Structure 1
Amino acid sequence: MRAALVALLVAPLVLIPAPAQTPDAGKLAAIKPAMQRYVDSGDLAGAVTLVGRSNGVIHHEAVGFRDLAARDAMQADTPFRIASMTKPITAIAIMILADEGKLSPDDDLAKHLPEFANLTLAGGAKPKRAVKLRDLLTHTSGLGNYPADLGDVYGKRDRTLTETSAAVAKQPLMFEPGTKWSYCNSGIDTLGRVVEVASGKSFESFLQDRVFAPLGMADTRFYPTPADMKRVALTYGKKDGKLEAGPFGLVGLPANPKHPIPAGGLISTAADQANLYRAMLGKGQLDGKRILSEKAVAEMTRTQTGDIKTGFVDGMSFGYGWAVVKEPKGVTAMLSPGTYGHGGAFGTQGWIDPKQDVFVVLMIQRTGLANGDASPFRQTLQELAVAAVK
């Protein structure tokens, strides 16, 4: 008896985590009518909203129409152009290769793409240090956007990543690497070419094999099929106060496209993004399938930009490919420090709050928003989602 008591006293204390609070069903149910009001007011044609936690999806609804003229209702599985929400996925590809020892964020860009070895600043001076992969991942490289003589890279998509990165390498740097933040599509596209060189695969094949297939992201791709085109949400802008369908742009593909647009070319669904975000909350794995190491996830999702002012709303910083909330305020006030995510040019948003174990996905297709990252649509969804899990 005494021996058993002694063993109990010296045994290590095991803390059993408290179960996650059951989400408030009423607050989750309020999301759909809240989004419907934006449809009724003529601000959105339709939307798909999704809220999830590390153990699964707790809300997934569609409102309005994917095609207003046809009165074709929005579906929960409607594909959307997620535009720059592609950027964190490109960063994931880089970090997969870092896990394998094929590159490091601290590598000079020229180590993988020698054409970048002789970069100069505007005026011809040499920069104080070389551009590193981490600079591209955080938009602090100083690389300029595409030169005028390259043509409409995203519209025509008739240049390969090899050709476009070579053209970018001929442009002068806008500032000393690592000293400022400037959102840079060409830098992220250049990372797509780095993935090809380091992996020996095309960029789109690498993502399919190493990210989309393992995570069950069956509706996520760079080149939509004819069947996709019949399902994808149309993009709308406002003209004379009314919604008007715009050109498909990135989705309206020319014959035999060569440029997958690592900076913004994917179509995807809310459910596919939920699988990706659950894998991030799972520190690199989903349902036993690991795509990233815990270390890689931690590096991607912490502030890597120090005190440099970044982002499109106040209080932000940048990790590798992900925007990171440094000081919650305004549209991020309900989120925790360390929340990370990204928006897209057509109003889509996806944000992950590990401290509150919640993520949100907003799928809309709107042009002409003053600032998609600060949209009332995003704020409404986040407020109701966070309130439901507190």
Structure 2
Amino acid sequence: MIFPISRRVVVLLLPLVLAAAPPAPDPARAGMDAAQLARIGPVLREFVERGQMSGAVTLVMRRGVLAHFEATGWQDADAKKPMQRDTIFQIMSMTKPVTGAAIMMLAEEGRLRLHDRVEDHLPEFRGQMMIAGEENGVRTLRKPSRPITIRDLMTHTSGLGPAAPGIGDIMVRMDRTLAEACLIYSQQPLLFEPGTRWNYSNTGIAVLGRIVEVLSGMSFEKFLETRIFQPLGMTDTHVFLPVEKRPRLAPVFTVKDGKLVKAGADILGGDPLKYREGAKYSGPEHSLYSTAWDLAQFYQMMLNGGVHGGKRLLSAASVRMMTQLHTGDLQAGHNPGTGFGLTWEVTKDVAGTLTGQSIGTYGHGGAFGTYGWVDPQQQIVGVFLMQLAGRPQPMRDAFVTITNTAVRETAQ
């Protein structure tokens, strides 16, 4: 006897369909050398055995094909809990390009222009001043030559500095709403004339998130969930981690006296194993929890020109706009040979290619050693996830270099 499936059952099954298990890696179909990719695990295990990291999850896709997906070491080194491919990480500043994508979606809908003044959407920014000088503890302010724009925020050239004393620990305590935080940021003087310098600005990205809230009529976290995560099947990506997923969260470690120890409550987001209990702040600059597979969906969408799995989130024009170099000759970026696009760090010259990345590669890292990138020339998506409050570059660069030197067929 055949029983009809109710509409409610179909709705309940939908998330399961979207969250289909990753396929088996197929390096040959991806045009990559399996033997070279097989070096990744042993190399990272050496770092684990030397006590330099707890563990990592690594993922490589090329031409849309999964080539490598591996968990190495421990999710929790103290408890000897093995790392899993679906371990959840605090990805911190890897959140920023997701916030950037939200802004681009609103631009495509005609709700904003990238050269709009911030004060056009957030009136509290009207009349914002700039620091003209400081001498003998006396600060002189003056009006900047122009107001800051949305593009300034996306390129980190707005002049918005760190959160002021009294709210300076908001990225740790997360105890104010995004609206409250941005109201305070609006009253802080700019550090320099907008557009004249590059200065990495967490507060600037937070303001972008507030603009998303105001123009969409939704909370920042709800906009991301409904407009980005659900369409891409990113079922393990959250601003606030659901209770039932807490056992999958990797704690953050640091190295003290030559030994790995769990980080305490003074790091971004507070004690990871307190799970940000009671947090109010949605942190457009640093809040996301995610997995390697989820992040790969977002990056593949970017590589595909804004579409993935039959769902278009952005136009190809918006992707090009986001990933072009916008900072020109300004000294910008965290790594040699890079500058900034719209919330993405972009490889601009040969100094940025020493791990094998092509000029035009774009990506972003996070405070606890996480990193992801998209190389349009080689059609590579790479994800490196770890949780270390320390120096992640040796491990990260080893993974990136092995990945890029595993390419065996020219991208088509």
| TM-score calculated relative to the size of structure 2 | 0.87
1:41 offset after TM fit, Å?
Answer: 1.3
CA distance in 2, matches of 1:109, 1:172: 14
Which residues of 2 match residues 40-59 of structure 1 at below 5 A? 40-59=49-68
1:60-87, Cα deviation, whole Å (9 max, x unpaired):
0001111112110000110000000000
CA distance in 1, matches of 2:151, 2:243: 37
Q: Counterpart of 1:124 in 2: which secondary structure?
A: strand
Q: Alpha carbon RMSD of aligned pairs, Å?
A: 1.5
Which residues of 2 match residues 259-338 of structure 1 at below 5 A? 259-329=281-351, 332-338=354-360
Which residue of structure 2 aligns with residue 119 of structure 1? 128
Q: Counterpart of 1:350 in 2: which secondary structure?
A: strand
Cα distance change of structure 1 residues 207 and 129 upon mapping to structure 2, 3 Å threshold: same
Cα distance change of structure 1 residues 330 and 88 upon mapping to structure 2, 3 Å threshold: closer
Which residue of structure 2 aligns with residue 379 of structure 1? 397
Which residues of 2 match residues 18-167 of structure 1 at below 5 A? 22-122=31-131, 123-150=140-167, 152-167=169-184
Q: Is the 8 A contact 1:120 1:172 kept in 2?
A: yes
CA distance in 2, matches of 1:22, 1:179: 43
Q: Is the 8 A contact 1:311 1:323 kept in 2?
A: yes
CA distance in 2, matches of 1:46, 1:199: 39
- Could you tell which deviates more after superposition, 169-178 or 24-33? 24-33
1:198 offset after TM fit, Å?
Answer: 0.9
Q: Is the 8 A contact 1:346 1:364 kept in 2?
A: yes
**Percent identity, aligned pairs only?**
44
Q: Is the 8 A contact 1:54 1:282 kept in 2?
A: no
* Counterpart selection for 2:206 from 189, 212, 216: 189
1:255 offset after TM fit, Å?
Answer: 4.4
CA distance in 2, matches of 1:360, 1:205: 27
Q: Is the 8 A contact 1:351 1:359 kept in 2?
A: yes
| Structure 2 unaligned spans of 5+ | 1-27, 132-139
CA distance in 2, matches of 1:284, 1:77: 25
1:28 offset after TM fit, Å?
Answer: 1.2
1:257 offset after TM fit, Å?
Answer: 2.2
1:333 offset after TM fit, Å?
Answer: 4.1
Q: Is the 8 A contact 1:310 1:316 kept in 2?
A: yes
1:308-343, Cα deviation, whole Å (9 max, x unpaired):
111112111100110000013267441111000000
* Counterpart selection for 1:239 from 256, 265, 279: 256
Q: Counterpart of 2:198 in 1: which secondary structure?
A: coil
Q: Is the 8 A contact 2:238 2:289 kept in 1?
A: yes
1:174-216, Cα deviation, whole Å (9 max, x unpaired):
0000000111111101110000011111000000011000001
CA distance in 2, matches of 1:337, 1:255: 42
Structure 2 counterpart of 1:77, which letter? D
1:239 offset after TM fit, Å?
Answer: 0.8
Cα distance change of structure 1 residues 332 and 199 upon mapping to structure 2, 3 Å threshold: farther
Cα distance change of structure 1 residues 238 and 307 upon mapping to structure 2, 3 Å threshold: same
CA distance in 1, matches of 2:276, 2:366: 22
Structure 1 counterpart of 2:123, which letter? P
| Structure 1 unaligned spans of 5+ | 1-18
Q: Is the 8 A contact 1:358 1:389 kept in 2?
A: no
CA distance in 2, matches of 1:71, 1:281: 37
- Could you tell which deviates more after superposition, 70-79 or 155-164? 155-164
Q: Is the 8 A contact 1:325 1:332 kept in 2?
A: no
Aligned residues: 368
Q: Is the 8 A contact 1:237 1:243 kept in 2?
A: yes
1:242-291, Cα deviation, whole Å (9 max, x unpaired):
10011365143454422111000111000001001110111001011011
Q: Is the 8 A contact 2:355 2:404 kept in 1?
A: no
1:21 offset after TM fit, Å?
Answer: 6.4
| TM-score calculated relative to the size of structure 1 | 0.91
